[in-house]
Amino acid sequence: MMKGFVPAVAAALAAIVAFSPAIMAQEAGVTTSISDADMALYRTGINPADADVDAGEAFFRKEQGEKKTSCAACHEGPAAKKSLKGSAATFPKWIASAKKVVTLEDRINMCVTGGMGAEKLEMKSATMTGISLYVRSLSKGMKVNVSTGGEAKDTFDLGRKVFATRRGQRNLACATCHEDLVGSTLRMQALNKINGAAAHWPAYRMVNGETTQLQRRFQQCMSNARLAPFPMGDYRMTALELYVTSLANGSPMETPGWVR
């Protein structure tokens, strides 16, 4: 088994490093440099994504939809039906009423459409990113604790399979970079195990100057590796998010993150 493993890993590494930075940036839809403005903010410790958290809080408190109510009306104050403190640390999770595992963003949309009578938020929209970040900020410092058993087991198993399955032009998988080639370097970055990474997403990415959700980051990685990206909100994306987030179980929530 090891005789075939080493050449396979070497071939995968060769395929990855064959990408030029320009091609990879084009495929991912990002630039290759960090702006002077972002670098200046980085040096001061001011995370640009904090503005998205503020926008999310404004949405949280705004009365809207046919029912003229707000997120805060249900989740804040003495009349709150359920506090959201610690809630984000348990997503993705099985929701009985939905009869499936849902992400935090899915759950937010369930509340927006059902509880408020408002229009569903687009998954990759700035509004969704903001409200998702704000809700996650209420669990800051609390440990990630997603369930991978019971009703969630099938989705977890699918996520592990998606992570490990090679596909696309380069015959690569998530595991190629984040397990097989850990310790190697790609685009001036060390390839690391994912471990607790999910605990700091959504995060502000300096290379493209925007706050990015975890599933959007998955799409960027897939594009870089020439894999057809799954749509955000797709059941395979939900499964992959559950698996990757499970690797962060026990890690403190630190959102918004700030990455290259």
Active site residues: 221
DSSP E strand boundaries for 96-202:
100-102, 185-186, 189-190
Neighbours of 162 (CB within 10 A): 22
* Three-state secondary structure call for residue 196: coil
DSSP E strand boundaries for the chain:
93-95, 100-102, 185-186, 189-190, 203-205, 210-212, 257-259
Whole-angstrom distance, CA of residue 184 vs CA of residue 204 = 24
DSSP E strand boundaries for 154-199:
185-186, 189-190
49, 42 in Cβ contact below 8 A? no
Q: Which residue has the tokens 């001061």?
A: 44
C-alpha 200, offset from chain centre: 9
